[in-house]
Amino acid sequence: MSRLWGYISGCYIPRQLRYWLYTAYSKLFGVIINEIELPMESYKSLGEFFARRLKDGARPISFDSPMVSPADGTIVSVGRVTSCQVEQVKGVTYTIKSFLGSPTWQEDIATSNLESSPMNTATKSDMMKQDSSTSNCSGWSINSTFLFYHYGLLTMHMYCINFIFNFLSQGVSFFSLSFKKQDVALSDDTQEKTISVERQDKNDGECQPFDPHWNEYKSKLLHNPDNELYQLVIYLAPGDYHRFHSPAQWTVKFRRHFQGELLSVNPKIARLLPDLFVLNERAVYVGEWEHGFFSMTAVGATNVGSIKVHSDKGLETNKRCRRKDFNQHDRPFSTQWSIGQEVGEFRMGSTVVLLFEAPKGFVFDVDAGQTIQMGQALGRIHVSQVDYITSK
């Protein structure tokens, strides 16, 4: 379904139809039209419109903060990581070790010749080339007879498409899971359905903060044992700005691409599917910032078959043919991303997950359930707490 949607979203739309189609879409999904960089008639396909840029200044960067939001969206989980089970939404978890994989990137980085890697900083021309490639569709185009449709009828069609899209997206998510080993349990007390998905790693079961396996894994992530691990999950809805940016000044040293499912990451679905983020296709970027370990992960979803990162030419997501016995692709990476720098883009809606190391005095200025914009401050380091911890 995601490949079909990718095909449709890349199809050329006649110029006369674009304004009415995109206006209907904007009303349906809450797109703020006056923020869009170009006139709506300039976007040749739905894919181009989904990945639209915003006007200069539409998203001011909070440079006074050490970390800013990488994307527009809704915060579904935020806080300190205290065990290997991390919240993907309130009350439902995913396994951090299965999500990031084994921390083998230290050895890979040390033994690789990073200067020979073709992946470095993206140029403006690179981004434009990727943008221009989104409208290819084997010459197929929408028939011009649609020009006679009334605006109200077109809007009604968009509402119907939205209903069908949501219905199919959720249906495909559950249908895909039916082919996996899982147990469905209905609690008599809560009457809520929960699905237990088979773990990718036998050691990734329930764990406590002092579990030796968890402590060992955490110690391999942290550069400073006195620091803590934190996470933040942002869900991008279909109407949100769909480009994602660097949340901090950091050096990216490694990329790990997990092939996987493309299940819906809508919070309503995420509440029913533990380890949803582990099942879905994702691109994990690992490196370090001023306080140690830092990672940013772009998680794919239904109809988000294409995750594009401007400086990563080798990343190919939602491939038609893939080896089922080999779903992890590691590659050294050598680049620096500055705070607020545009990094890549999604199609439709998806999720960005930040997992990072910071001093124990780090405090989030945002809460779960809050709507946030790219560039908005995420948190700060409480200096008095850091000084107190250091003095001890």
**Residue 153 CB burial class (10 angstroms; 0-12, 13-18, ≥19):** exposed
Percent of the chain with pLDDT strictly greater than 70: 61
Question: Which positions are annotated as active-site residues?
Answer: 72, 245, 350
With CA atoms as reference, report the closest residue to 299 among 70, 59, 92: 70
Residue type, 202: K
Mean pLDDT of 306-321: 80
Q: How many CA within 13 A on the CB side of residue 292? A: 20
Give 351 or 145, the one with higher predicted confidence: 351
Mean pLDDT for all residues in the chain: 75
Tell the residue number behind the tokens 């950091």, with chain if given: 250
Residue 60: both structure tokens together: 């001011």
Q: Region 58-81: what's the mean pLDDT?
A: 96
Q: 100: helix, coil or strand?
A: helix
So what's the pLDDT on residue 197?
35
Residue 35 reports pLDDT greater than 50: yes
**Tens digits of residue pLDDT in 201-214:** 434 445 665 677 88
**Alpha-carbon distance 210 to 82, whole Å?**
9
Say yes or no to pLDDT of 253 above 60. yes
Which of 13-27, 81-95, 128-142, 246-260 shows the lowest per-residue confidence on average (mean pLDDT)? 128-142
pLDDT at 233 over 70: yes
Number of neighbouring beta carbons within 10 Å of residue 385: 14
Distance of CA 236 to the CA centre of its chain: 8
Q: Which of 321, 320, 319, 280 is nearest to 297 (CA)?
A: 280
Strand ranges for 112-249 from DSSP E: 182-186, 193-197, 228-236, 243-245
Highest mean pLDDT among 199-203, 249-253, 255-259, 306-310: 249-253
Mean pLDDT of 154-182: 46
Residue 132: band (very low, low, confident or very high) from pLDDT cuts 50, 70, 90: very low
pLDDT band at 244 (very low <50, low <70, confident <90, very high): very high
